[in-house]
Amino acid sequence: MKAKAIKVLIAKPGLDGHDRGAKVVAHALMEAGMEVIYTGLHKTVDDIIRIALQEDVDVVGLSIMSGAHVPIARKYMQKARDAGIDDKMVVIGGVIPAKDIPQLKKIGISGVFPGGTPFLDIVRFIRDNLTHA
């Protein structure tokens, strides 16, 4: 029996409008057979949680280029707990310095993919960590 496609929400939290990376990763995940929903720009954390709930996605991917990844991740995880969806895998992509990765992991982000991460690594990470969850 064919497994149900993994459903991923690619989200752009905050006011930043640089979405080349988010869209490129969305294309890559789609090509890998995942179902991808893209939130569009300028979403608040509340918007993203609402869409994640509505669409019942397996993974939430936050794309952040502005440097505000730590406060946004913290806010997201807090609100995800409140909404009872903190069990959903959360990954982050964007301009993320290596030194921030441990902190993001501690906050509860499963995977961090700075710009330039090979698509295959992202796809594998999602597949492996969802099945082992």
Q: Which is nearer to another protein, 97 or 132 (CB)?
A: 97
HSE of 3 in the Cβ direction (CA atoms, 13 Å)? 9
From candidates 7, 16, 53, 78, binder to another protein by CB under 8 A: 16
Residue 108 binding another protein, by CB under 8 A = no
Helix (H) or strand (E) holding 81: helix 69-83
Q: Which is nearer to another protein, 16 or 86 (CB)?
A: 16
From candidates 7, 23, 79, 127, binder to another protein by CB under 8 A: 23
From candidates 87, 116, 131, 132, binder to another protein by CB under 8 A: 116
Give the residue from 45, 104, 110, 103 showing the smallest Cα distance to 79: 45
Question: Whole-number minimum distance, CB 98 to another protein, in Å?
Answer: 6
Strands (E), the chain: 7-11, 35-38, 59-64, 89-94, 111-114
- Tokens 């913290």 correspond to what residue? 74
Q: Are 129 and 110 in contact, with CB atoms under 8 Å apart?
A: yes
Q: Are 47 and 72 in contact, with CB atoms under 8 Å apart?
A: no
From candidates 79, 103, 115, 127, binder to another protein by CB under 8 A: 115
Q: CA 132 to CA 118: how far, in whole Å?
A: 22
Q: Which is nearer to another protein, 40 or 84 (CB)?
A: 40
Residue 5 binding another protein, by CB under 8 A = no
Binding positions for another protein, rule: CB under 8 A: 14-20, 23-24, 26-28, 30, 36, 38, 40-42, 44, 66-68, 71-72, 95, 97-99, 114-116, 118-120
